[in-house]
Copies of this chain bind each other. A is one copy, B any other.
Amino acid sequence: MEAMVVKQPQPVTIAFDVMGTDHGPAEVVRGAAQLSLDSPHIHALLVGDRTLIDNALAETKHNGERISVQHAADFVGMDEKPGEALARKPNASVAVAARLVAEGEAQALVSAGNTGAGVLACARHFQLIPGVRRAALATVYPTRSVRGAKEDPFSLILDVGATVEATADDLVTFAVMGSNYARIISRNERPKVALLSNGVEPQKGPPRVVEAHARLSEMKDIHFIGNVEGIDIPKGTADVIVTDGFVGNVCLKMLEGVHETVVELAQYAYKESLRWRAGLAMLSSGIQRIKDITDWNQYGGAPILGFDRIFIKAHGRSKAHAIANAGKVAAKVVANNLGNAIREGLQK
C-alpha cells in the first residue's frame, strides 16, 4: 500500500541581509524566527553581525533547525552612497549575502537595507538572464481595482529606478519580466500589461515607447492592453505598468508623498470648517490604516528582475511581519522558477 502523497512546498534557503534597516537587526531576526515557526519549507540564512543576531535569536521564539547564521563584519547604512560604501566595505552584509546566493548557498536574497546597495550587489554577484540587457526594480502599489484569484489590490510597476534610460528593447524585456512576476505572485494567469505614456494612442510618447508598443502588440504570450496614462496608475487599469527607471521613480515617489499631502491640503483649505475637523478626527485611525496600506512595500517587497538569482527588497521600515512576507514571496518566486519563465518569455 502506497503512502498518501501530500504535495509539500519545495524546500528553499533564503539569505536575509539583517543589517542597515530602519528598525535594526533584531526586527529582521524576528521576521526570520516567525518564518521558522510558520513555514517549514523555508530555511533562513541570516547574514550580519553574529553577536547581534545571536542575541536577538536568544530573545525570540524560533526553530533553530531552520535558521543559520553567517557573520558579516560590515554593513551599508541607509544614507550611504552605495558605490562608495561597497567599495570601502567588501564584506558588507548585503555583499556577503549576494555572494552566498551566487554560490548556491541560498536561492534568494531578502534585504530591507539601502536599495542602491542591493541593486549594486546583485549587479556584481549575479548574472543577467540571457536576453536581458538591463535589470529593473519593480514595486507593487495599491490600486482601486483588484486582480487575480486572490483579488489582489496591488499593481506592479517597473522600472522604478534601476535603469534610468531604457531602450525599446529594455521596455519589452521589462514587460516580459513584470508579466511573469505578476502571474506568479498574484495568481493571475493573464496579467494586463501596459506601457506608461502621455496618451493611449499607439503613436503617443517618445520613440522608445512607440517602438515598444509596436513590438508588444505582436507578442502573444503577453496580455498587452496598450498605453495607459498617469491617471491609470492609481486606478489600477493595468496589472503591470512598464516604464523607464526615471519616469517610474518619479511616479513611485509621487505616490509615496501624495496621500499625506491630500490630508494636509484638506486641513489647510478647510481649517475653518468644524464639520470637516470632526470628520478628520473620526477618520484619524482610518487614516493611519490608509498610511499602513500605502506603505505597500510592507506587503512583500519589491523584486529586482533580470538576474539569474532572486532579490526581494523589503522596505527599510519593514517590521518582522513584512520581513517574513518578503521571505515567503522570495520562496514562491524560487518555487515557480521565475528565471526560467522570463528566459522562455524572451525567446518567444
Taking Cβ atoms with an 8 Å cutoff, the residues of A that contact B are 142-144, 146, 153, 161, 164-165, 196-199, 205-206, 209, 229-235, 243, 245-247, 249-259, 261-262, 264-266, 268-270, 273, 275-276, 278-280, 282-283, 285-286, 289-290, 293
Contact = CB atoms under 8 A, between A and B. Distances in A.
A201 to B, nearest CB: 9
A198 to B, nearest CB: 4
Contact of A233 (B254, B264, B283): B254
Nearest to A160: B198
A144 B61 CA distance: 45
Contact of A258 (B146, B258, B282): B258
B258 A255 contact: yes
A278 B278 CA distance: 11
Nearest to A252: B230
A261 B265 CA distance: 16
Copies of this polypeptide in the complex: 2
Main secondary structure on chain A at its contact with chain B?
helix
Contacts of A144: 261, 264-265, 268
Residue of A206, A251, A282 with most partner-chain B CB within 10 A: A282
Given A235-B261, A251-B254, A254-B254, 12 more contacts: A164-B198, A232-B257, A234-B254, A234-B257, A254-B255, A269-B289, A269-B290, A270-B286, A276-B282, A279-B279, A279-B283, A279-B286
Contact of A198 (B161, B231, B234, B293): B161
Contacts of A209: 246
Contacts of A276: 282-283, 285-286
A256 to B, nearest CB: 6
Given A198-B161, A257-B230, A283 B283 contact: yes
